[in-house]
Amino acid sequence: MHLLQTRAQQQPNPLAYTFLKNGKTPTSQLTYRQLDQKAKAIAAYLQTHLSPGSRVLLVYHQSLDAIAALFGCLYAGVIAIPAPDTTPLQRTLPRLEAIAT
């Protein structure tokens, strides 16, 4: 968390992450500044609804949004619990419910 904030301040424009579709084709990118801004926005939202130490179930497809959400949880002081992709929901709902429990 501290490293991201430092990079966002000192080296804001280099790429922090590149998402590769199928592990080969770049489809989206985030600079350190963009990642820090997204994470802080997510953290601000979480802090208005949750107390530090609360658990947050992260249900995301593989994406840069999932990375921003993870850092947002770190910034907010909540515990991120990544969950598997829920497509199709009927097949994965029991597993998702078990994780939530």
Q: Widest CA span of the chain, in angstroms? A: 46
Q: What is the pLDDT of residue 40?
A: 98
Between 95 and 86, the more confident residue is: 95
> For the CA atoms of the chain, what is the radius of gyration?
15
- Reply yes or no on whether the pLDDT at 17 is more than 80: yes
pTM of the model: 0.85
Average the pLDDT over each of 34-43, 49-58, 88-97 and give the range with the smallest value. 88-97
Q: How many domains does the structure of the chain reveal? A: 1
> Tell me: the pLDDT tens digits for 81-94?
988 766 666 677 77
Degrees, nearest 5: CA angle 1-70-2:
5
Residue-level pLDDT at 90 = 67
- pLDDT band at residue 59 under the 50/70/90 scheme: confident
Q: What is the pLDDT, as a whole number, of residue 92?
A: 72
Range of the domain at 70: 2-100
Instruction: Locate 96 and state its tokens.
Output: 């998702």
Report pLDDT for 28: 95
60 confidence band (pLDDT: 50, 70, 90): confident
The alpha carbon of residue 50 and the mean position of all alpha carbons in its chain are separated, in whole angstroms, by 16
**Neighbour count for residue 41 (Cβ, 10 Å):** 13
What CATH number does residue 54 fall under?
3.40.50.980
